[in-house]
Structures are given as C-alpha cells and as structure tokens.
Amino acid sequence: MANATPLHQLILKRLHSNDNGEECSSGRDMKNDIILNVSNLVVSFNTENGRVRAVDGVGFKLRKATTLGIVGESGCGKSVTALSIMGLLPKPSGQIEYGTIEFKGQDLVSLMGKSTLQGKSDVRIGAALLGKPNIKASQAFGLKSDEIISQGESGKLYDMQKIRGRQISMIFQEPMTALNPVQKIGVQMNEVYQLHFPQMRRRDMDNASISMLAQVGIATPDKVIRQYPHELSGGMRQRVMIAMALSSKPDILIADEPTTALDVTVQAQILDMVNELQTKLAMSVILITHDLGVIAENCDDAVVMYGGRVAERAGVAELFSDPLHPYTQGLLKSIPGLSRAPRSILPTIKGQVPSLEKMPSGCRFSNRCDHVMEICRSVVPFEIEPVKGHFVACHKYSITPRSDIFKSHY
Amino acid sequence: MVQGYIKGESAIEDIPILQVTRLTKHFPVHGGIFLRKQGVIHAVDDVSFDVRKGQTLGLVGESGCGKTTLGRCIMGLYPLSGGSVKLHGQNINDVTGKEMKALRLKMQMIFQDPFESLNSRHTVGEILEEKYIIHNRLSNKKIGSVNSTSRRQEIVRLLERVGLSEQAMAKFPHEFSGGQRQRIGIARAISLEPEVLICDEPVSALDVSVQSQILNLMLTLQKDMGLTSVFISHDLAVVRHVSDLIAVMYLGKIVEMAEAEYIYSRPMHPYTKALLSAIPVPDPQAKRERIILKGEIPSPRNPPDGCRFHTRCEYVMDICRQEVPLLNSEESLKYTGTGDSNSPHMVACHLYSI
Ligand SMILES: Nc1ncnc2c1ncn2[C@@H]1O[C@H](COP(=O)(O)OP(=O)(O)OP(=O)(O)O)[C@@H](O)[C@H]1O
Ligand SMILES: Nc1ncnc2c1ncn2[C@@H]1O[C@H](COP(=O)(O)OP(=O)(O)OP(=O)(O)O)[C@@H](O)[C@H]1O
Ligand code: SF4
Ligand code: SF4
Ligand SMILES: [Mg+2]
Ligand SMILES: [Mg+2]
C-alpha cells in the first residue's frame, strides 16, 4: 500500500480519472483485453429429485472496461453463474462440477479448489463483502447464523478473498438482503474499508464513504452515513449498496438485477449512474437482467441464456439487428413495443420454460421451437460462430450452409 | 343515443359503463403506544374518469402512486373516503346486501399473482364451479346449468377458452406454472360474464416469453365478450398495447389522461415526459433524449402542497408550490390540440393554464 497518500485520496483519484496507474495508463485500446473468461461452466445442485444442472456449459468473455449483459428468463441460471464467479454458491448443495473462470489469466475455480476451507472461506467472503458477518446476507446464501458469526470473526485473508469482494464486487436485486438492518450506513461502509484497507484511518474512511455516496448521486451523504437502511427509500438503498461495492475499487462489478425492484424513473437514474462510473473508473460490468430494453441501452455485449445454457452471444448492435437463435428471435418479436400496432395480436413463443428436472434432452428449447428438427431432440447443439463475434448454439446453423442462414430470416 | 364507432378492433359505444367521480381514498396511519391516528396516507385523491363500453383504460404510474387502491375502490373492496363509483349509472356504494353483491359480480378483478387469490385446497374445477354456485344464489338471471354434468361441460369450455385442457380441472393451483395460473385467474374472472374487468398488473409476474401469450388471450376475450376494462401496470409498453385511453398517475392523482396514442406521441405533463423517456427500448440504434428526474417520489403521507410533482419538476414555478393544478379539459384542449370533446387530452399542470 502506498502510504504517502492517504487512501481515500487514492480512491478519489481513481474515481476522478481514468488514469489509475499500471493497469489503464498503457494508452492502447484496452477494450479488447479479456478480463474475465468463463468457459464451459457446469454447476449442479442437490435437490429432492437428485442432482440437477442449473448451469450447463456456460461460457462467455468479459472485455475490459465494457459492460456485458446477461439476459434470460427466471430460472435460466443468471444468478447461479454470477454466484459461481463470486465463489458464493450455497454450500454444500451447489457445486461447480466443471469449467474454468479465468480472471486476469488466473483460474478462480482451481484457486477455490486449493483452499481446504473451501466452503467456509467462501461464506466468509460473502459476509465480508457485504459488511461484517451479516446474518441476513449470509442466510441468503443458505448458511446457519452461528456458522457465519464464527467464520466472520477470524480476519485472515485468503487468495480467493482478496480477489472476490475487492477486485470483483457484486450487487443484488434487493439491497436489504445485503445491508445490515441494525447498523448505520457509515459503520457498514467503514467495514468494507477495514477489510480491504486495514491501515486506513477512521476519519479517512468517513470521508471516503461520504465522497463515494456523493459519487452515486446521494444528495446528503453526511446525513445518510448516520442513517439506518430502513430509513432510506429503495432507490437510495440500491445506491448505498453500489457505493459499498465500489469502495473496494473493484475491476469488475457484477450487478444482478440491480433495478428490477425499482420504478422506471429511478431505474433510469441508477443505470445512468452505473454507466457513468463504469466509464470513469474504466471498470468492467456484468449486468444481469430479464429486460431486453435494459440490455440494448446499457451494454456493449450480451449473452442470452435459456435453460442453464448460452443460446446466443454477440455485440449488442449485432444481436438486436440480426438475432440468430430461434429463442432470441421469438423473444424480440413477442415484446409489446412502442412501434407495434396497438391491440394487435403479438407473436408468441409457445409453451413455457420447463423446470430443470423436465428439460428436454438435446436442445433445451426444442419443445418450444418452431424450427425443431429431429436432431434437436437428442443432440445438444454446440456453440458455433457463423458471423465473426456472433456465437449461437443451434443446429439450424451447424447443418445449414452459411448462405442459407441469411435467406431464412429476411 | 347510442353512437357506436370502431376504434382499433373493438366496438366502443358511447355509453359510460363505469363512472368514477372525485374518488378519494385515505388510509389512516396509527402509531404511538395507544395506536392513535397520527395522519393519513393520501393513496388516491380526487380522481375522475369515465370508461365507455368496450373501452380499456390503462392506468400507469410508479410504485405506491395508488393504482391498486384505485382498482380496489372501483371493485367496492374499500369504503371510499370521498366521491363515487357508478356502474351503469348505479352507485355501487349505495345499494346494500344481496343487490350489491349481484352488482359486484358484474365487475371482476385479475391480480398480479393469481396464486394468492386462488384457494390452494380446491381443485381448479371446484374453484371455477364455486363461482357459478355463488352467482346463482344471488342473482335471478341464472348463468350455467343447474345440472352438474352440463355444468362440467361449461367449465371445460371455459378452460379451453383460456387455453387450458380438461385435465386442469382435477389439479390444484400449485401444480401450474405462473402463466397457467394466470389463465386460471382469467377463467375465474370471466366465468360469470362480467361487464367490467379490473386487471391489476396481470402480466408483471410472468416470464417475458409468456407475457405475450396472456396479453393475446386478454385482447381476444375482451373483443369477443365486449368487456370494458381497467388495466393497471407500471409497464408502459404493455399498457400502450392494450389500452384505448391512458391515465398517468402520480402520488394519488391523475396528472394526464388522453387517448393512448396521444400520451405517447404528444405527452404534455413533465412527469409523463420523464416517465416515457425512462422506458428502456429494446433497440440499440434508438437514440433518445432521456429526462433524468432528480430525487424520488415523496411519501404519500405528506404529499407536497400545490402540484405534487413540484419537488422533482424542472419547470417548477411559484404557483406550483401553492395551487393544485386541475385536470382541466377545457384549458388543456387549447394547448394540446389533440383529442376531442369525447375523449379530451387532459393535463394537470400550471404550464398549460396560464
Ligand atoms: N440453492 C439452490 N438449490 C437448488 N436449486 C437451485 C438453487 N439455487 C438456484 N437453483 C436453481 O437453479 C436454476 C437457476 O437459478 P438462478 O437463480 O440462477 O436463475 P436466474 O436466471 O437468476 O432467475 P431469476 O431471473 O428468477 O433471478 C433455477 O432452476 C433454480 O431453481
Ligand atoms: N390497506 C392499506 N393500508 C394503509 N396504506 C395502504 C393500504 N394499501 C395501500 N396503502 C398505501 O397507499 C399508497 C398507494 O398504494 P397502492 O398499493 O395503491 O399503490 P400502487 O400504485 O398499486 O403501487 P405498486 O405499483 O407498488 O403496486 C401506498 O403508499 C401504500 O403504502
Ligand atoms: S437446436 Fe433445434 S430446437 Fe434448438 S433452437 Fe435450434 S432449431 Fe430450435
Ligand atoms: S404544475 Fe408546475 S411543478 Fe407541476 S408539473 Fe406543471 S410545471 Fe411542474
Ligand atoms: Mg436471479
Ligand atoms: Mg399495485
């Protein structure tokens, strides 16, 4: 740690400029650097009906200083993917069976495997990330409260913990699961500094908290640090959580439906703020949502998930102008848009998302797909790249010559 | 005088079926050790509108602005603090006992999560049959057969109408997915051939790929049955798709009301403009001017004086802090130039009354 400059000033410096030392000053276009590379991730859970794969071979790349959107319907595995990256899967029922998560070239999955304290240290990370041993937050990850407290009290840092929470932060849909209801905001924010910057002085922490809260658009930060979470509105709580997540100066911010519970005008405020900070801090963001509009307006790249797998991924402009997967195509057609004739019958995707236990074999979309073929019901489609940078997992494209692909949807 | 005209695909007649006049609903707030009344929540304040036969009024606004409360007041589920609700010219709060119950059966409500409103211990068949039984006890006009086998036939037809099969009859609500449960909720609501349907966020809890199925079902039924409806949602794209008329609410008041297309093409109220500009559009090429509102919605316990939007409005003037702007069709017609005397484009904002 550089002791010459007080830490909060370092943080402020980083907040106010893109130039934050060795990582970003190189001057070349860093947007093509891959900061996070998830490949072939398989995550399963123990359930009453045996082990089920909630995430089954998910892969994508996050480019430096860009926003990647993950979109998909309820239960398609968005949160499980995010929790896997954070090392916050509920233990012991959730397990990464296969795959790698490379962060700056280092595989987090094997790093996790090395730790003998695997489950427990992850738990502590979860709690630490969110403040002190936070009973409510940790319970959200399926833990018993006594376990959390005892785990949370020992303060030693492990490799994993250094990476997660400090270099990768996560914010959740419902801030109340992450905020401690009986502690003032300021106290909770200071705990993040204590954990990551133990030499920081109390006064500097307070100042850093205040300026961080101001950064996320809170008008009266000096008042808010003395308030309890319940005294704040939903939008303010979400801002506080973002401020906490950013106070460790993460390289990656994972936002899991950060605005789903909020009103549209507040959602617009929060997303604008995240975009602004993303540019300012040259941070990479993973934005999880079920709203295609949010993806279109806020992301550079997007991953469309269905039934625990990646159906399609591409740059956002490409994905919306030329969707390839039948599921993406159906979804885009079916949403009532302002450009559609009022009261007209909307195109639909038939049926509904099956539960994990009832997923069809082969392509998981095969029971709802209008283009289904024999092969789809038995063979899992591999991801292919029919257009550069545009990946799709669908048999239509693996057995059709390329020229036909384009004919078929014009 | 019955003057029918065709709007969109459904026939709308000039008779107001549902008339809401100066409706006000306050909830008392209790607190302290003796739980004394400490104030009131102004959930709905001085709201008026007419919905004509076959028409759909869309009600939009952000969380807590009073949409559900207004819907429940129309259904007669809450005593009113002021104003009236009339169905076919008859004040629903005036009639009593059996008569009132029969009148209320003409209005049905669909909820966001039908699971909460469906009795989990009864099969779908029983749930749907119960409605007929209650109705026939209350009303002189019998619906459905008394004979149980032909009633069964009717329930099967009803299920098919909402896209479910006969097998659904023997199952319990929890055995269905969200979309299917919403279909059951719709089946129950339309089983008695109501005239008015109040839909409170009927697709908000559903998966995106299932929402369009349910919207299509509702549009089809509405057209076939000539239903008059109030459609509550915070999703402006959905509301625009199903509504003839749209009312935008803010903190318990209607701030703007007009035919759906005018709300979107020529929004007048600063709040409506901000709301529309905030909807994320699934088109990365769309370049839009976004109006970012400052601050958040004030508490309905202490709504701001004058215009309730003045704490967040970029055009705020002195008068806005003192005088409540009225939803004035005469005045605003001059400015909007949209709408006609039948369905004027109305706006409650001092910008349009000076
Ligand atoms: N602790 C758990 N035990 C068993 N199954 C789980 C557990 N957590 C998640 N799952 C299952 O994994 C699947 C993916 O869940 P996930 O929470 O990732 O979905 P999601 O895409 O985030 O959905 P939503 O949009 O509703 O948040 C679901 O089918 C879910 O039931
Ligand atoms: N039964 C009640 N008792 C006391 N206050 C209530 C009651 N029902 C609603 N309120 C209050 O009245 C206001 C309006 O609530 P309402 O549920 O009608 O809003 P809404 O527009 O439907 O919001 P949402 O979009 O979140 O459903 C809120 O401040 C709410 O807290
Ligand atoms: S693989 Fe087959 S079933 Fe699956 S999306 Fe493609 S065409 Fe449809
Ligand atoms: S009345 Fe005044 S404060 Fe209210 S919306 Fe109009 S200009 Fe804004
Ligand atoms: Mg989730
Ligand atoms: Mg409501």
Give the highest mean pLDDT range of A24-28, B101-105, B303-307.
Answer: B303-307
pTM for the whole structure: 0.84
**How far is B218 from B274, CA to CA, in rounded Å?**
29
Q: What is the pLDDT of residues B4-62, one digit of tens each?
A: 334 444 456 677 899 999 999 999 988 767 777 778 899 999 999 999 999 999 999 98
- What is the structure's pLDDT at B71? 95
Query: Over 60: is that where the pLDDT of A119 sits?
Result: no
Asked if residue B348 lies in contact with residue B325, where contact means CB atoms within 8 angstroms, the answer is yes
Query: Over 60: is that where the pLDDT of A132 sits?
Result: no
Which element (helix H / strand E) includes A111?
Answer: helix A108-114
Query: Which residue from A55, A30, A35 is spatially nearest to A45, judged by alpha carbons?
Result: A55
Instruction: For residues A227-242, give the mean pLDDT.
Output: 88
Q: What is the ipTM of this complex?
A: 0.83
The residues facing A53 across adjacent strands are: A44
**Closest atom, ligand 3, to C-alpha of A364:** 4
Asked if residue A295 lies in contact with residue A68, where contact means CB atoms within 8 angstroms, the answer is no
Instruction: Please give the full DSSP string across A196-226, using - where no structure is assigned.
Output: H-TT--HHHHHHHHHHHHHHTT-S-HHHHTT
- What is the structure's pLDDT at A129? 40
Which element (helix H / strand E) includes A269?
Answer: helix A264-281
Token pair recorded at residue A238: 């979400």
Q: What is the pLDDT of residues A335-389, one digit of tens each?
A: 887 677 888 899 999 988 888 888 999 999 999 999 999 999 999 999 999 999 9
Asked if residue B102 lies in contact with residue B90, where contact means CB atoms within 8 angstroms, the answer is no
A94 lines ligand 1 (CB under 6 A): yes
Token pair recorded at residue B48: 């008026």
- What is the structure's pLDDT at B175? 85
A165 lines ligand 1 (CB under 6 A): no
**How far is A56 from A382, CA to CA, in rounded Å?**
12
Residue A263 to residue B62, Cβ atoms within 8 A: yes
Which element (helix H / strand E) includes A395?
Answer: helix A395-399
**How far is A170 from A177, CA to CA, in rounded Å?**
12
Token pair recorded at residue B116: 């909460």
Query: Which residue from B104, B8, B12 is spatially nearest to B53, judged by alpha carbons?
Result: B12
* Band (B286; pLDDT cuts 50, 70, 90): confident
Report how far apart the first and last C-alpha atoms of chain B are (Å, whole number): 36
Q: For residue B147, give the amino acid letter.
A: N
Asked if residue B2 lies in contact with residue B14, where contact means CB atoms within 8 angstroms, the answer is yes
Q: Three-state DSSP class for A53? A: strand
With a CB cutoff of 8 Å and minimum separation 6, the contacts of A407 are none
- What is the structure's pLDDT at A2? 38
Give the highest mean pLDDT range of A72-76, B82-86, B104-108.
Answer: B82-86
Chain A hits for B278, CB-CB cut-off 8 Å, are: 264-265, 267-268
Cis ω for the linkage preceding A250 (within 30 of 0)? no
User: Residue B211 carries which DSSP code?
Assistant: H
Angle subtended at Cα A159 by Cα A19 and Cα A23, rounded to the nearest 5 degrees: 15
- What is the structure's pLDDT at B338? 63
**How far is B301 from A354, CA to CA, in rounded Å?**
44
Query: Over 90: is that where the pLDDT of B115 sits?
Result: no
Distance of CA A226 to the CA centre of its chain: 29
A405 lines ligand 3 (CB under 6 A): no
Q: How would you classify the pairing of strands A390-393 and A383-387?
A: antiparallel
Chain B hits for A236, CB-CB cut-off 8 Å, are: 296
Query: Over 50: is that where the pLDDT of A9 sits?
Result: no
Closest CA–CA distance from residue A149 to any residue of chain B (Å):
35
- What is the structure's pLDDT at A178? 76
Asked if residue B47 lies in contact with residue B22, where contact means CB atoms within 8 angstroms, the answer is yes
Distance of CA B327 to the CA centre of its chain: 19
H helical segments located in chain B: 67-74, 97-105, 114-117, 124-138, 148-161, 178-190, 208-225, 236-242, 260-265, 270-278, 318-322, 329-336
- What is the structure's pLDDT at A338? 65
**Between B129 and A68, where is the model more confident?**
A68
- What is the structure's pLDDT at B5? 39
Query: Which residue from A53, A56, A39 is spatially nearest to A380, judged by alpha carbons?
Result: A56
Chain A hits for B8, CB-CB cut-off 8 Å, are: 342-343
Residue A192 phi/psi, 5° resolution?
A: -65, -40
**How far is A37 from A64, CA to CA, in rounded Å?**
11
Residue nearest (by alpha carbon) to ligand 1 atom 7: A45
**Closest atom, ligand 2, to C-alpha of B249:** 21
**How far is B332 from B256, CA to CA, in rounded Å?**
10
Distance B180 CA to ligand 3 centre (A): 24
Q: For residue B46, give the amino acid letter.
A: D
- HSE-CB at B295 with a 13 A cutoff on CA atoms is 10
Asked if residue A305 lies in contact with residue A76, where contact means CB atoms within 8 angstroms, the answer is yes
- What is the structure's pLDDT at A140? 39
- What is the structure's pLDDT at A91? 79
- What is the structure's pLDDT at A207? 92
* Band (B80; pLDDT cuts 50, 70, 90): very high
- What is the structure's pLDDT at B13? 62
CA dihedral B300, B303, B307, B308 (to 10 degrees): -40
Q: Three-state DSSP class for A386? A: strand
**How far is B45 from B251, CA to CA, in rounded Å?**
8
Distance B107 CA to ligand 6 centre (A): 18
* Band (A161; pLDDT cuts 50, 70, 90): low
A196 lines ligand 3 (CB under 6 A): no
Domain boundaries of chain B, sorted by first residue: 267-354
- What is the structure's pLDDT at A262? 78
How far CA A379 is from CA of A73, A392, B293, in Å, comes to: 23, 15, 50
CA dihedral B231, B234, B236, B238 (to 10 degrees): -50
Q: What is the pLDDT of residues B208-251, one digit of tens each?
A: 888 999 999 999 999 999 999 999 998 888 999 999 999 999 99
- What is the structure's pLDDT at B314? 94
In 10 A of CB A331, how many CB atoms?
Answer: 24
Number of continuous H segments (helices) and E segments (strands) in chain A: 17, 12
* Band (B137; pLDDT cuts 50, 70, 90): low
How far CA A394 is from CA of A366, A408, B157, in Å, comes to: 10, 14, 38
Percent share of chain A, pLDDT over 70? 76
Percent share of chain B, pLDDT over 70? 86
Least confident of A22-31, A133-142, A281-290: A133-142
Report how far apart the first and last C-alpha atoms of chain A are (Å, whole number): 58
Token pair recorded at residue A138: 């940790």
* Band (A141; pLDDT cuts 50, 70, 90): very low
Q: What is the pLDDT of residues A51-90, one digit of tens each?
A: 889 999 999 999 999 999 999 988 899 999 999 998 888 8
User: Residue B235 carries which DSSP code?
Assistant: -
A362 lines ligand 3 (CB under 6 A): no
B280 closest CB neighbour out of A266, A291, A350: A291
With a CB cutoff of 8 Å and minimum separation 6, the contacts of B230 are B18, B51, B56, B57, B59, B71, B74, B196, B197, B198, B199
Q: For residue A2, give the amino acid letter.
A: A
Closest CA–CA distance from residue B180 to any residue of chain A (Å):
9
* Band (A103; pLDDT cuts 50, 70, 90): very high
**Closest atom, ligand 2, to C-alpha of B65:** 21
- What is the structure's pLDDT at A332? 93
- What is the structure's pLDDT at B12? 60
Residue B209 to residue A73, Cβ atoms within 8 A: yes
In 10 A of CB B16, how many CB atoms?
Answer: 18
**How far is A135 from B335, CA to CA, in rounded Å?**
57
Distance A43 CA to ligand 1 centre (A): 11
Give a three-class secondary structure readout of A126-153: HHHHCCCCCHHHHHHCCCCHHHHHHHHH
B319 lines ligand 4 (CB under 6 A): no
**How far is A289 from A74, CA to CA, in rounded Å?**
10
- What is the structure's pLDDT at A164? 59
Least confident of A30-34, B64-68, B108-112, B267-271: A30-34
